Amino acid sequence: MTTQTIPNDSLLRRALLGNTLFSGLSGVIAAVAAGPLAAFLGLSSPIILIILGLGLIGYAVGLYRMATRQPISRNDALFAVVADTVWVVASLVLLLIGWPPFTTAGRWLVVIIADIVAVFAIVQFIGLRRLK
């Protein structure tokens, strides 16, 4: 019987790949459905969602490159943790200052997405700490 060893970067790699998928899908949805999504959120113009969507697609490409590199760069992983943390903090600031004036459903969507991003940040941080 052989035992299979799991590399100590597997949690970080999986978190980065999950984040890649979430960020990429979110970016495509934001860019393609910017008009209806802007109305749902209470935004006056969809242009910010198009820009945000394209940025998220670019971020997803970067995350994928990080996740598939052998070995994973500690600095790249730290960047992902910091970027996700900044996203969460920025989301909370937008909600607290009330600008833009989101609809109730829009506020909930911002909170839910910030929670998901926070989970990615936490799991990526734990995975980063496990690297030797």
d(CA 2, CA 101): 59
Domain boundaries of the chain, sorted by first residue = 10-130
pLDDT score, position 3: 56
pLDDT score, position 4: 57
Predicted model pTM = 0.93
Written as one letter, the residue type at 123 is V
d(CA 80, CA 62): 9
Contact 15, 129 (CB under 8 A): no
Integer CA distances (angstroms), 125 to 69, 110, 116, 117, in order: 17, 22, 14, 12
**Per-run averaged pLDDT (10 residues), the chain, 132 residues:** 68 98 98 98 97 98 97 97 98 97 98 98 97 82
